[in-house]
Amino acid sequence: MKAAFLQGMNTERAARRACVLVTDLAHGAQRLVLADAIAADPLHVEIETALRMGKSGMIEHDTGRFFLTVQAPPLRIVVVGAVHVSQALASMAHLLGHRVIVVDPRTAFASKDRFPDADLLAQWPDEALPVVGIDRYTAFVALTHDPKIDDPGLLAALKSDCFYIGALGSRKTHAKRLERLGAAGVSADRLARIHAPIGLDIGAVSPAEIALSILAEITAAQRKKPEGSAGL
Amino acid sequence: MALASDSDILEQAEAWHRAGRGVAIATVVETWGSAPRPVGSHLVIDEEGHFLGSVSGGCVEGAVVSEAIDVIGSGAPRLLEFGVADETAWQVGLSCGGKIAVYVEKVVS
């Protein structure tokens, strides 16, 4: 392996960017494919699948057998609202191996006692989110029910290329939300990215069940082949 | 000390190479049956036989390290297979009944 490829993999990982090292095991030839060069690579279909699954592996192609060393950044879930559902979500996401960042300006809610498994930012979303940096490997969830807090978070997420956006609230609440965000200048295409009512429809009632349905929906967005623009 | 993750291991490989040490990276490229470490797991080795990470549950690391020292010397990558069907592999003790393929390559400037 060229030292430059090794260094490249370490740099990309630190910057939370995906990359894949392609090795022709029969001949030793190698190339490092960076995130923005994947689409143009002859193995782009295989590389995209491997990245979505986050798995290194051997692939068969017309041009030979190759090993893909996959580096996909670890998923993060940014949650606006340090509420009851978020507590359950933080514990379950911890089990799934995802880092959770909870943003809520209300310090009584955003306390370490309530969120032992999450990183807490007791700030308004419009202050916190630019620092957190919502990227392609981030899921964004708005759970406060309070437009004052949820809307600035949603506006930031809608500008990003994060792989999932969800917002808590009934269809009626969501219709009002769409009106507000539309009035703030967000196009209908972009607004369609919001999963609302949030979570898979499993008839969830308790906060833990709602958290489960949200995480199931996030997992589907992560792992399933994207149908449209959603998905990794 | 926390267990080294595959990311820490690649950082170590880079640091060793920068320090002027001969370094090889071994990667599990295929597994069949029960294998203790998943595809993509790394072991990094320097020319003196220091190593970090794992490609098995400790069964074949010794053999991989000695092969890696040869690879550091020659510069030519090798694809190694270990499994119960292989007499040598049985000797090095992959007794879990699995079979693994490990690619060993030198880090070159």
Of A46-50, A198-202, B52-56, B85-89, the range with the lowest mean pLDDT is B85-89
Contact B25 A55 (CB under 8 A): no
Contact A25 B103 (CB under 8 A): yes
Residue among B13, B40, B77 whose CB faces A56 most closely? B40
Phi and psi dihedrals of A66, rounded to 5?
A: -130, 150
Q: Which residues of B touch A70 (CB under 8 A)?
A: 40
pLDDT at A226: 64
Please report which confidence band the pLDDT of residue B4 belongs to, taking 50, 70 and 90 as the band edges.
Answer: low
User: Is the predicted pLDDT of residue A230 greater than 50, yes or no?
Assistant: no
Q: Which residues of A touch B108 (CB under 8 A)?
A: 1-3
Report which of residues A150 and A231 the model is more confident about.
A150
User: Is the predicted pLDDT of residue B11 greater than 90, yes or no?
Assistant: yes
DSSP string, A157-225: HHHS--SEEEE-S-HHHHHHHHHHHHHTT--HHHHTTEESS-S--S---SHHHHHHHHHHHHHHHHHSP
Cα(B72)–Cα(B74) distance, integer angstroms: 6
Q: Please state, for a pLDDT cut of 90, what percent of chain B lies above it.
A: 59
Cα(A87)–Cα(A92) distance, integer angstroms: 9
Q: Which residues of B touch A7 (CB under 8 A)?
A: 14
Of A33, A21, A26, A20, which is closest to residue A65 (Cα–Cα)?
A26
pLDDT digits over A177-194, tens only?
999 999 999 999 999 999
| Mean pLDDT to the nearest integer, A45-68 | 92
**Nearest CA distance, B22 vs chain A (angstrom):** 11
**CA-atom Rg of chain A in angstroms:** 19
Contact B11 A7 (CB under 8 A): no
pLDDT at A165: 98
Domains of chain A: 3-71 (no CATH), 76-223 (3.40.50.720)
pLDDT at B95: 56
Of B4, B2, B42, which is closest to residue B24 (Cα–Cα)?
B42
Contact A9 B10 (CB under 8 A): yes
Question: Nearest chain B Cα to A4, which residue?
Answer: B109
User: Is the predicted pLDDT of residue A12 greater than 80, yes or no?
Assistant: yes
